[in-house]
Copies of this chain bind each other. A is one copy, B any other.
Amino acid sequence: MKTLNIGMIGYGFMGRTHSNAYSNVNHFFDLQYQPVLKAICARNEERATAFANQWGYESVETDWRKLIERDDIDAIDICTPNNLHRDIAIAAAEAGKMILCEKPLARSVAEGEEMCQAIEKAGVPNTVWYNYRRVPAVTLAKQLVDEGRLGRVFHYRANFLQDWTISTDLPQGGEALWRLDVEAAGSGVTGDLLAHCIDTAIWINGPITSVTAMTETFVKERTHNLTGKVEKVGIDDACAFLARFANGSLAIFESTRYARGHKALYTFEINGEKASLAWDLHDLHRLQVFDHGDDSLIRGWHNVHVSDGDQPYMDKWWVPGLQIGYEHSFIHQVADFLKSLESGTPCGPTFRDAQATQIVCEAVLNSAKSGQWVNI
């Protein structure tokens, strides 16, 4: 068994999901590599130490540059706010470290491009945590499309709906709320939520060629946690866009944090000539499948409980009917990343794959500003 020494930067929500993935992957997957939780890095040493104790990290760093310099670190995992992705990734690449970077890749296409070039120049293994690709039902959707079961695709539609920022009392910025701070996040729902929808869409349905978009900031000012002052809100609270894919299909995408009743409802549906598929994150182990080839008397959407051994990843877990959850998508990505080290083939989405999503996100934001269709 070879070890892969992980240096993790950040201990927030994503720091937990990744740490859990490293801790569990070898219990369920037969792999040549075993991740080792070598170091956690964050500016707040006390909290970083507490996190290290909880998860079993062997050491703590407070300066990410020092972490990157360490010889005993094989891979850097970037779980910081988006505004640090570029600098860390470029430094890590230059130091020859593998990189596992949280999504979105960057705050802008320009940042992303620098990162891609750095990593390509360094030739280091890399991946971006668009984890939903590896929810078994989503992976199955990809497989069904790739097998040609849908035939020509006519429509794609995706939503990512939340409701947690409706209150005007919610502040912006700082540790827990950097996603509301445009400086730290780069954008609002577009980079945070639509980026997931776009990554899945491109992966399953191919390139997007043009978009027209609208955005809105419903709450215009919020207290900023870092300054203590009421400041203008710079992010997009909601974003919707129309799109055309290279394969001729039409699409609608929408995301918001103002859809009362939806906690984290990522949905997509794809309509093909022969079949259709639909999925949603709130019941993530279900894939809805319509097969026009069914006997017409009993034709209807199949409500598929994706928990059988012949369905993606599910041979690693329990028995049919017993579902796994959100966190397992990260375990699957680590497993695939480790397997990619064995095989030498990249583990998608790579930085370059994630940059394709970045380009669409930026086109969407540009279109929202200009009111024009933007070609990609």
Instruction: For the complex, give the distance between the alpha carbons of A373 and B242 in Å.
Output: 12
Among B216, B238, B287, B323, contact of A326 (Cβ-Cβ < 8 Å): B323
> Contacts A27-B23, A242-B242, A276-B259 hold; do A212 and B371 have CB atoms under 8 A apart?
yes
**8 A Cβ contacts from A183-200 to B:** none
**8 A Cβ contacts from A114-147 to B:** 140, 143-144
Which one of A38-46, A68-76, A301-309 is at the B interface? A301-309
Q: Does A94 contact B (CB under 8 A)?
A: no
Interface pair A289/B282, CB less than 8 Å apart: no
Interface pair B297/A300, CB less than 8 Å apart: no
Instruction: For the complex, give the distance between the alpha carbons of A213 and B305 in Å.
Output: 31
For A256, the chain B residues whose CB sits under 8 A away are 154-155, 250, 271
**8 A Cβ contacts from A284-338 to B:** 284-287, 289-292, 294, 296-305, 307-308, 310-311, 317-328
Interface pair B261/A276, CB less than 8 Å apart: yes
Instruction: For the complex, give the distance between the alpha carbons of A197 and B202 in Å.
Output: 29
Q: Does A265 contact B (CB under 8 A)?
A: yes
For A320, the chain B residues whose CB sits under 8 A away are 164, 263-264
Interface pair B13/A26, CB less than 8 Å apart: no
Instruction: For the complex, give the distance between the alpha carbons of A342 and B287 in Å.
Output: 43
Q: Does A24 contact B (CB under 8 A)?
A: yes
For A17, the chain B residues whose CB sits under 8 A away are 318
- A82 → chain B, closest Cβ, in Å? 18
Interface pair B323/A284, CB less than 8 Å apart: yes
Interface pair B260/A323, CB less than 8 Å apart: no
Instruction: For the complex, give the distance between the alpha carbons of A318 and B285 in Å.
Output: 17
Q: Does A203 contact B (CB under 8 A)?
A: no
**7 A-B Cβ contacts within 8 A?**
A154-B256, A154-B260, A240-B252, A261-B301, A264-B319, A297-B310, A317-B327
Given A16-B27, A157-B254, A264-B322; 17 other pairs, CB 8 A cutoff: A16-B318, A27-B54, A144-B298, A252-B252, A256-B271, A259-B276, A260-B271, A260-B275, A261-B276, A264-B320, A282-B321, A284-B323, A287-B298, A297-B310, A299-B304, A317-B327, A323-B326
Closest 3 CB pairs of A and B: A263-B321, A264-B321, A261-B290
